[in-house]
Amino acid sequence: MKLKLFFFLFLISSITASAQSYIFGKVTSEGSSEIQDVNVINIRTDELVLSNSDGHFMISGKAGDELRFIKPGYERLAHIVSQENIQSPLNVSLVRVTIQIPEVEVKQGLTGNLKIDSKIYNKPKKVEKLSSEIGKYIAQKSDPRILAARAGEFVQPKGQGFSIGKVKNQWDDIDLMKYLEASLGEDYFANLKIDKSQIDHFISYVLAGGFERKKILKYGFCSDADLNRFQRFVLTRISSYRAPQTQK
């Protein structure tokens, strides 16, 4: 009898231990309004779910997992799952991204004073002539040899492009380049003897060399591990980047 009871208790504990935990929650805005289609990502499992029309979501996970909440127009939010979040709903609030209103130029109108208005609207003939010549110069087409790559310079190859199907990336390569430049800082590239004006060109060269970034662009998130991986990849590309510039 005792043996059967022990076996039953062991079976119950095994089922409980192997059961998958889920985190339930709700995403709202600063004004407590439900937010739909928020990307909820479990960084450990790489699972991605979307919040529904009521802002609710459900994702598998356990205590200690890191969840990322991403929605265009809102600041990104990271949350470490606690044991309490497993037992009760997790409610998070996203903050809207501040949008700067472009500066509006207020032009001076007619004052009614002939002397003042004539100075404002009757430009000197020399100024009008200079403005006309500048306009003609800008309208001219540049010689293609000016924009052509110099000998030994890396040139981004042109192709027919590719289709990503129904999946819409949160980032593109330009977003990733800006993030890498801001995160690593100018001192990092200076130590590599990369001029400030060549930083974007160098990062583009490294990415074109085969740096794996599919998940980074998909989720719009570059982890510390990705940043370290990029720096290791740089070491394999820096010598070939410098080589054409040092050849005589």
Whether 138 shows a pLDDT value over 70: the answer reads no
Whether 158 shows a pLDDT value over 80: the answer reads no
184-to-25, 71, 234 alpha-carbon distances in Å: 35, 25, 12
Two structure tokens written together for 6: 């022990």
d(CA 115, CA 134): 28
Only one residue has tokens 């003939």, namely 125
pTM comes to: 0.39
Whether 137 shows a pLDDT value over 60: the answer reads yes
In angstroms and rounded to an integer, the radius of gyration of the C-alpha atoms of the chain is 29
Nearest Cα residue to 169 out of 219, 228, 131, 221: 219
pLDDT in tens, 178-234: 999 999 988 999 888 898 899 999 999 999 989 999 999 999 899 999 999 999 999
pLDDT in tens, 46-98: 999 999 999 999 999 999 999 999 999 999 999 999 999 988 999 999 999 88
Nearest Cα residue to 21 out of 74, 71, 88: 88
Nearby residues of 95 by Cβ (< 8 Å), 6 or more positions away: 30, 74, 75
Alpha carbon 62 to its chain's center: 27
pLDDT in tens, 17-48: 445 689 999 999 988 899 999 999 999 999 99
18-to-65, 165, 194 alpha-carbon distances in Å: 17, 36, 52
Name the pLDDT band for 147 (thresholds 50, 70, 90).
low
d(CA 220, CA 116): 55
d(CA 32, CA 94): 10
- Hey, how many other C-beta atoms are within 10 angstroms of the C-beta on 222? 20
Nearby residues of 204 by Cβ (< 8 Å), 6 or more positions away: 154, 156, 173, 177
